[in-house]
A and B are shown apart, each in its own frame.
Chain A
Amino acid sequence: MKMIQFKNKLKQLFTFVVSLMMFSTLLQSCAELDPDLTEFNAPPGSYESLADQEEGIVGVYQGLFTAARFNDIYAPAWGGDDMTTNFGANKADFREFDQRNVTPGNARLGNNWNNSLNIINRANTVISRSQGLFQLDVDMEIVELRIGEAFFLRGLMLQHLSRIHGRIPILLDPVVDPDVTLSSQQEVFEQVESDFLEAERLLPDVYPGVNPGAPRPNKGTARALLARLYMDWAGFPLNDMSKYAAAAQSAKQVIDNSGAHGFLLLSDLEDLWRQENASNTEGVFSITFCSSCPNLDNRKYGILGLPADLLGWQESLAEIKFFEDFPVGPRKEATYRTELQWEAFSDQKNPVFKKITGPAGDIAQFSSSRFDFWMRYAEVLLIYAEASGRSGNVTPQSWEALNMIRRRAEGLPFATPNPSVDLTSGDIAELAVTERKWEFAGEFSRWYDLVRLQRVEQALSDRQPQVSTDPATGAIINERNSILGSLGTDNYYAPLPQIALDELPNLAN
């Protein structure tokens, strides 16, 4: 009896062991603990081909698109005396700039901060990952061209942030230093200069295979932005006057080589604001958009500049006093929608920028394929005129630069001297500043002129309309968004956004 029981037990044990073994073999083959790396879209440690590098640099541009698709990138420019916004609704962020009352919680300010630094981070990544290509048998000219592009885009965003915030952190490594602190203004300018110089060195005269308007930068683009940098450097806050000569020299260099870079004024100013002319020779650097491509449209123009009466969003409106002062002529017609009787608008009475809405009928809604002219060739000309005046080196070419803009403003051929508009004497620097005021109205640049020239108080104390009246009441129409904050230099720069202080606490030290 006992024997049988024992045998049974043995048999059971045997069955058990066999089945356990069967299962465990089954199992071991199934428990795959090492992930299959080919299933992951891992980024390259360094580029292995030119195609990788091109994808990387396009990724930087994609960041630029994200930054510039909405008005986050331009919101600080609402501080200028040319632009204002709706007095209510969700335009508080823009009003803060308009009314000189910018808070760290301003969402546009925060978005711009994040977007700009993201571009810098992606550019750093491209620069770092491109190093591997030097070991490979690929076309080094292309490798360098794209590295130059990355330096350019990094410099561009450092410059942009610095124009808003003054002192900023300089991040040059793909791995973000969480303890980064603010650099001095001098260090920031030097870094921007060094990036643009490096870009100029590596970029060709004209970027191969692109349309006019420099959607990808060339040597001239980098040099033109250096000219802009030197103008800022010479003004507030460092006031290093020696930089005017550098600005003049840089602008002259671009003008002298404009043919090689493909830079040329358009003959009709109004053509600039049509979608069909998005790509044109006046662009020294253009941020490109595409409304027929998936989600690549520009959402800053069209109804954003229209009043509620015309089902507009009233985000980017024109200031009344500036409009009143604007010299009558073709340039005013190209700048504003003068056919609209804005004084009779019901919700908010402000003139309408043609530069924002486009000519009547050009943009149906908020979406367009307009490009953003980050810098127009007209600015290079006016920098040259102003900087040569301020550096005491005025030449006939300086006057010609100014006069080309003046002629076109009157609807005349810009290249043909015309004594009725041409100037050859006077304070060319101040004449150029005034010319800039009208030429770039509504192009998100006036504010930065006021800052570098330390004329914020002067300009913003003069916003009260003088002649525009409400047709219903006959009363003078008031500008709705009054100045709330200081107009002194203490309030020129926007505070660091809250998000920056939360994420990088050392910036506060």
Chain B
Amino acid sequence: MREKLLRGTISKYFIKGLLIVLLFSGKLYAQQTVTGKVVDNNDIGIPGVNVTIQGTSIGEITDFDGNFSINASSDNVLVISYVGYTTEKITVGNQTNIVVKLKEDVESLDDVVVIGYGTRRKSDLTGAVSQVTTKSFESQPVTRVEEAIQGRAAGVTVARNNGAPGAGVKIRVRGANSITGNNSPLVVIDGIFGGDLRTINPNDIASIDVLKDASALAIYGSRGSNGVIIVTTKKGSGKTKVNIEHFTTIAEVSRRVDVLSSSEFATLRNRNRIAAGAAPTFTDDEIAGLRENPIDYQDELFKTGVSSTTQASISGGDEKFKYFISGNYVDQEGIVITTGYERSSLRSNLSANVNDRLSVGLNMFASREFFANNVDSFNRFKGGLVLRALTWDPTSPVRDENGDFILRSNLANNGFNPIAGILRTTRETVNDRFNANIDIKYELFDGFTYNLVAGINTWNSVTQSFRVEGDTTDDASTHTNLDFNNGKFSAFQISNILNWKKSFGNHNLDVTAVYEFQGNEGTSNGYSTFNVAGPGFFFGDVGDIANENFFNNGGKRTIQSYLGRVQYDFNNSLYLTGSLRVDQSSVFPQDNRTAYFPSAAIAYSFNNMDFIENGNTFSNLKIRGGYGEVGNQNAREDAQFGQSARGLLFSFDGETTVNGQADTQLGNPNLKWETTRQYNVGLDMGFVNNRINLSVDYYQKNTVDLLLSRQIPTTTVSITENIGEVENKGIDISLSADIVQTKNFNWNSNFVLSKINNEVISLTSPDQERIIGNILSIDGTTNALNVIEVGSPLGEFYGLTYLGTWKSTDDLPTGIQPGDARYLRDEDGERVLGAIGNGTPTLTWGFNNTFDYKNWNLNIFVQAAHDFEVYNQVEGALNGGSGDFRDNLSPNSFNVWTPENETEIPRAGANNLLNSSRYVEDGSYIRLSNVTLGYNFGSFFKGLDSAQVYVSGQNLFLITDYSGYDPEVTSNPLNPNQSNGDVGSGINLGAFPNPRTYNLGVKLGF
């Protein structure tokens, strides 16, 4: 495609050149020696550049400093070309010394969209694809790829629902389809399936393309139902370039949760005791002491994290050989004490053109990740660490006067001191990853190529955990938990891609056929024990043998696929695409193993029409429409078979154990693919010579035969079935504009907006109205906190509707005192349990602005999510009166209901139910996500191309009504086996907040 473009420009110039020749053909021109210099953007000479006289074979190559000298006549046109730069043409005229500034050829890269098993010019697209290029995030320090996507790709929601360094980030393309399956999009890196965005060095990325509609996704068939993120890594070109970047990051907790201070808590405690006719707990002196030296568990838990990122790359190449080699090291400290994350990675992308027809590429990537004290690994049965710290007794310090930990308190949280827990714990996870893929292209004859992409991907993970949360002097507290967990995962993929491109006049045809298979295999094994008396992990074998537990699991799946795609366009105005993919998966029984995923799309460009070619309003106008079907095979590998648990222990004699067996899964011999059918219509518009571009897409997708894993009623046996339907409808808008384009000042602005409505259309049998979720309350009641209801969006909060307090003048129902919490009741007087909120935003947007003024560069990125709630269980726990949360630590405790002042906050000592709308808060937020100010010093010594220094801040400002740390962070479900994050999103059980970060960095280019 790119070649075609180039050829087009060449012919245009050729015609112009010819005209000139014809006009001046009567004259004779003398030969003269023309000298010159070819420089890049930074006025550095480029060696090895071809300088030829157009239409002849005469040519020279620039020397090391970019200088050239050539004999030419004044009517000659010099063609200056170099790989990676836009070719320049200069008519000699009477110039004898020419300085040519070559522009890097970024436009051509931008213009191409990767669509899966091929590329397409953006202008020729028929489907809905969002593209994020390096350009849009290179001016901000990015440590992970997800940050680069958030708010920059319409239709893609990215939620950093955990601020822990290295934590997983939730990405959804056009909403969530599946209730129990995985809703994460497929990540394809350089043609290989199943990458992990977290491990990629953002600096290695050339472009990210997100396929959103089914006509684009159908080519990925069974893997495409959640969208596909295609990552293309950089290739070297041109002269050797070395880039080095280093930045240091300071991270801190961005907000504080408002809780009672030590002295306030003590005062209130005394007041309540006296009101109840009991002796006060604290003396005046003690309270004065606490006022002077308050104990703040937020201070104990959080710290300022200092991190650094260093990355370097070297790249370059010529027609024959291109290379890109990079390394990156990230060392992050978490804002929660003892937590941290390190990542080092190395990439080598090499490609060689063996001859005119054959090219071979080899991309290799290796990374090591290290996680220290993942907060989610602590006991979360009664809330996460953050929640437990917030609700811990603020009158009791972490250590006593002897320096020993104070593990328990009679007040507030009834659990063990969370700070003592995290300080005594060492949990380390190391993930090693190695990916290699080879890409062989052979052009059989003109326009017909065979491409083999083969990749392997291995991933090993080892966790060593020594977790001490209880009292080491009391075995009943199961104090010292020791875990070893070893996981091995490997995947392979082989794709044979045949492609044929042919033009017949104005008719262009592009046909692709693929045979592909892929498989993966994973095993995990390990052991755990508890109440170990030793001081560290390597004392695991000194524990009680009776406590030892071993496990060994494995899984394997294979997919075989055939697919074909035909793309046709006529005269650059009518575009048609049709594709069919056939997948066979080992997950399904033989009869249901094969699935067909068809798609068709049409686009029409009005660019050839008179009103655009000669009009003033539009510079581009195109409409698109498509339909396709994609699948999801995210069921357990063994879902078609029954499963049972062996080794269920029981003891008949109180001393020895015997093994029992019970079924855990009922096999489903009728299991089949989950299918998503999607319609998409889109409109692309360009204005003012494409300085302003607008894309609008509307879609509706219905996912049927949902793979739903559920517990069979009255048993502990689960079954995976194809049940129910979920619908997503939405609009994606993307607007970009070069608002100012002058010599010294440029302002580029990008706005994306996604609106989505999600609805559960049906569940099991027609009469099933809801499925109670299995995210359970942490208040000791084990009430469910989420529900899936027909007619509502996926994953609603489940609970009571809070109506304030019962007043003394009310007609009180039995069992209720004035001042008690009042909940909505039905006509029978029963409290109504129902859906009371939803944690998935329906509207998200991002607004990215880049300003360039001379050597200054400024990036401002604002990102927002609206129309969602947070089920703030942390606030509920702070209010006390429930489970382990014995006392009210919330500042509202000064304003509780009393007979004299009947407020809407329940009386002191009233029972507090956490599963109520009292703790549902509006989560909408607008975040100043990034501000970066950079200055480029240019070249101040020989060999240096550029030197840039920048300062930046992330998460600097948050506009929200939410009372917790951050509405974007919510907790992972305690039991991830049966709930995916989407049916429980927005439930905050004490999640790790997103930090605010400040960076200082320097980038050098040689």
Q: Which residues of A contact B (CB under 8 A)?
A: 9, 12-13, 16, 19-20, 23-24, 26-27, 30-37, 39-43, 52, 54-63, 65, 88-90, 92-93, 99, 101, 103-105, 107, 111, 114, 117-118, 120-122, 125, 171, 176, 178, 210-211, 215-216, 278-279, 288-290, 292-296, 308, 311, 346, 364-367, 369, 371, 473, 484-485, 498-500, 502-505
Contact = CB atoms under 8 A, between A and B. Distances in A.
Interface stretch (B112-120, B425-433, B710-718): B710-718
B714 A33 contact: no
Contacts of B450: 16, 19-20
A279 B651 CA distance: 12
Contact of B657 (A43, A293, A484): A293
B3 interface: no
Given A62-B648, A288-B653, A365-B474, 13 more contacts: A30-B494, A31-B558, A32-B586, A35-B637, A52-B661, A56-B660, A89-B882, A121-B717, A288-B650, A290-B651, A294-B649, A364-B474, A505-B768
B646 A55 contact: yes
B444 A35 contact: no
Interface string B641-661: 111111011111111111111
Contact of B560 (A20, A33, A503): A33
B815 A23 contact: no
Nearest to B477: A365
A506 B408 CA distance: 48
B654 A90 contact: no
B634 to A, nearest CB: 16
A293 B651 contact: yes
Contacts of B637: 35
Interface in B704-735: 712-717
B623 interface: no
B316 interface: no
Contacts of A500: 713
A27 B651 contact: no
B445 interface: yes
Given A290-B654, A296-B657, A364 B476 contact: yes
B547 A294 contact: yes
B474 A33 contact: no
B713 A503 contact: yes
A365 B714 contact: no
Contact of B770 (A23, A52, A111, A502): A502
A43 B549 CA distance: 22
Nearest to B768: A505
B535 interface: no
B946 interface: no
Given A23-B452, A43-B663, A289 B651 contact: yes
B833 A498 contact: yes
Contacts of A290: 651, 653-657
Contacts of B781: 90, 92-93, 107
Interface in B540-586: 544, 546-549, 554, 556, 558, 560, 584-586
Given A114-B714, A295-B649, A16 B663 contact: no
Contacts of A107: 781-783
Interface string B267-309: 0000000000111000000000000000000000000000000
27 contacts: A24-B515, A27-B517, A30-B517, A32-B519, A33-B560, A41-B643, A42-B667, A55-B660, A57-B660, A59-B662, A88-B909, A90-B780, A101-B815, A118-B716, A122-B715, A215-B653, A279-B654, A289-B651, A293-B546, A294-B547, A295-B649, A296-B650, A364-B474, A365-B474, A365-B477, A504-B713, A505-B768
Contacts of A346: 278-279
B648 A30 contact: no
Contact of A42 (B474, B560, B643, B765): B643
Contacts of B547: 294
Contacts of A499: 772
Given A107-B781, A294-B657, A42 B452 contact: no
A88 B881 contact: yes
Contact of B714 (A16, A58, A121, A473): A121
A151 B595 CA distance: 46
Contacts of A39: 554, 556
Contact of B549 (A9, A178, A294): A294
Given A90-B780, A105-B831, A294-B549, A117 B815 contact: no
Contact of A13 (B444, B657, B814): B444
B644 A42 contact: yes
B444 A16 contact: yes
Interface string B385-410: 00000000000000000000000101
A20 B662 CA distance: 49
B496 interface: yes
Interface string B750-781: 00000000000000010110111000000111
Contacts of A364: 474, 476
Interface string B610-645: 000000000000000000000000000110011111
B652 A367 contact: no
Nearest to A485: B814
A63 B662 contact: yes
A4 to B, nearest CB: 14
A107 B714 CA distance: 15
A56 B768 CA distance: 32
B487 to A, nearest CB: 17
Interface of B: 277-279, 408, 410, 442, 444-445, 450, 452, 474, 476-477, 492, 494, 496, 515, 517, 519, 544, 546-549, 554, 556, 558, 560, 584-586, 590, 593, 637-638, 641-646, 648-663, 667, 712-717, 765, 767-768, 770-772, 779-783, 814-815, 830-831, 833, 881-884, 886, 909, 911, 913
Contacts of B779: 90
Nearest to A473: B277
A52 B661 CA distance: 8
A460 to B, nearest CB: 14
Contacts of B650: 58, 61-62, 65, 288, 296
A422 B782 CA distance: 49
Nearest to B529: A294
Given A16-B450, A43-B643, A90-B781, A211 B652 contact: yes
B234 to A, nearest CB: 29
Counting chain B CB atoms within 10 Å of each CB, which of A125, A290, A498 scores highest? Answer: A290
B714 A117 contact: yes
B287 to A, nearest CB: 19
B714 A485 contact: no
Q: Can you list the 8 inter-chain pairs with the closest CB atoms, starting with the nearest?
A: A58-B660, A484-B815, A90-B780, A365-B476, A117-B714, A290-B651, A43-B644, A503-B713
B445 A37 contact: no
B816 to A, nearest CB: 8
A97 B653 CA distance: 33
A42 B642 contact: yes
Contacts of B771: 502
Nearest to A35: B586
B880 to A, nearest CB: 9
Contact of A103 (B410, B657, B658, B830): B830
B714 A176 contact: yes
Contacts of B645: 41
Contacts of A60: 660, 662
A346 B496 CA distance: 78
B48 to A, nearest CB: 32
B661 A58 contact: yes
B653 A211 contact: yes
B496 A23 contact: yes
Contacts of A473: 277
A407 to B, nearest CB: 29
Nearest to B765: A178
A500 B772 CA distance: 11
A289 B654 contact: yes
Contacts of A502: 770-772
B386 to A, nearest CB: 21
Nearest to A302: B476
